[in-house]
Amino acid sequence: MSGATRLTLRGRLVLVAAAVLTTVGMVWGLVSAVNWAMPAAPAASPSPSGPAPVSSGSVPPPAPSSTPSSEPEAAQASSALPTPSATAPSTKRATPTPTPSQTMLRTGTASSGKYRTSKITLPAAARTKVTHAYVVKVETTLKPAADEVARQVHAVLSDRRGWTGHQGHSFALVTADDDPEFTIYLAAPKTVDRLCAPATTRGTWSCRNGSRVVLNSDRWLHATPTWAGQPIADYRAYMVNHEVGHYIGEGHVGCPGRGDLAPVMMQQSIRLDGCRVNAWPQPGR
């Protein structure tokens, strides 16, 4: 009995093992069949907010580059402003000085930064409360002699229609050794830009900067379209009186009325607004 019993137990163990292996084989086969029947999952598509795909044979378009403005103030501020998108409308900063007209004559005179200084002395035209001593300097790349320009300037400042006598002002031409109060420069356009900085003259306009009265040589020679047909001597008188007017504290004014004489402190080089050109602060004298 014991031998038969042992064989019976072994037989049972063999049967159980066979049944387990058979069950495992059936489950594995079922799983394989299911995986084979299911389609492969699609690849993930790019997010709509992500960059567009680029094929291997194409190159993405370059980002738009910002072109520096020819205007100094705009160029100076360009590093602080974001670059506009390609679809955004372009904008221009408003500036107090307009872009010169294409009819504005330019000579292309070279800039040396060196000057010939006037040597002559001429007294003030009147005894007044305040006499301003000045000297004249002309850049070496310009043809006029310094003494010649100094005589023209002094004739303007001494004219009875000028600033002499106005609120106690008069003007004396002295030499550089006489410790002048201010200097009147006649300079090439690029030199004017440097002497007038931080004011924006764009190689076109003149200025008063501290103790400097700076006259643009292109304007001295060719005036402006607003003064077309007028004697160049009259425009030069306007240049001198306008900038020296700033030196003694006068500011810009507008046209008082259509057909009237323009005040000398009006920006007549730019526009007249219906006024007539005028070179003198006291034209009725």
In a domain, 21, yes or no: no
Joined tokens for residue 63: 């980002």
> In the prediction, which pLDDT does 272 show?
97
Could you tell me the residue range of the domain that residue 218 belongs to? 115-247
CB 226 within 8 A of CB 239: no
Residue 182 lies in a domain: yes
Looking at the DSSP assignment, which residues form a beta bridge with residue 135?
183
Number of separate domains in the chain: 1
Does residue 231 lie within any of the structural domains? yes
Predicted pLDDT at 285:
85
Question: Does residue 14 belong to any structural domain of this protein?
Answer: no
Residues 263/279, Cβ–Cβ less than 8 Å: no
| Residue 91: predicted pLDDT | 34
| Mean pLDDT on 205-232 | 97
Q: What is the pLDDT of residues 162-185, one digit of tens each?
A: 999 999 999 999 999 999 999 999
Q: What percent of the chain has pLDDT over 70?
A: 64
Range 97-105, long-range pairs (CB < 8 A, 24+ positions):
97/200, 97/201, 97/202, 97/205, 97/270, 98/270, 99/71, 99/202, 100/202, 100/204, 101/225, 103/225, 104/204, 104/218, 104/224, 104/225, 105/218, 105/221, 105/222
Reported residue count of the chain is 285
Residue 19: per-residue pLDDT: 64
- Helices and strands (H, E) in the chain, number of each type: 6, 6
Residue 33 has pLDDT above 60, yes or no: no
Helix (H, G, I), strand (E, B) or coil at 142: coil
Please report whether residue 207 resides in a domain.
Answer: yes
pLDDT > 60? residue 75: no
Q: What pLDDT digit, counting tens, does each position of 34-44 carry?
A: 444 444 443 43
> Between 241 and 66, whose confidence is greater?
241
For residue 223, tell me if it sits in a domain: yes
- Per the structure block, which two tokens stand in for 269? 């080089």
Burial of 180 (0-12, 13-18, 19+ CB in 10 A): buried
Residue 12 has pLDDT above 70, yes or no: no
In a domain, 173, yes or no: yes
CA distance 219 to 136: 17
Q: What is the pLDDT of residues 221-275, one digit of tens each?
A: 999 999 999 999 999 999 999 999 999 999 999 999 999 999 999 999 999 999 9
Element (H, E) at 247: helix 232-247
Q: What is the CATH number of the domain that holds 236?
A: 3.40.390
- pTM value is 0.66
Q: Using alpha carbons only, give the angle 275, 277, 281 rounded to the nearest 5 degrees.
A: 100
Distance CA 140, CA 145 (A): 9
Beta-carbon contacts of 98 under 8 Å, excluding residues fewer than 6 positions away, are 270
Do the domain assignments include residue 163?
yes
- Across the chain, mean pLDDT equals 77
Specify the pLDDT at position 16. 60
Query: β-pairing, 115-117 with 130-139?
Result: antiparallel
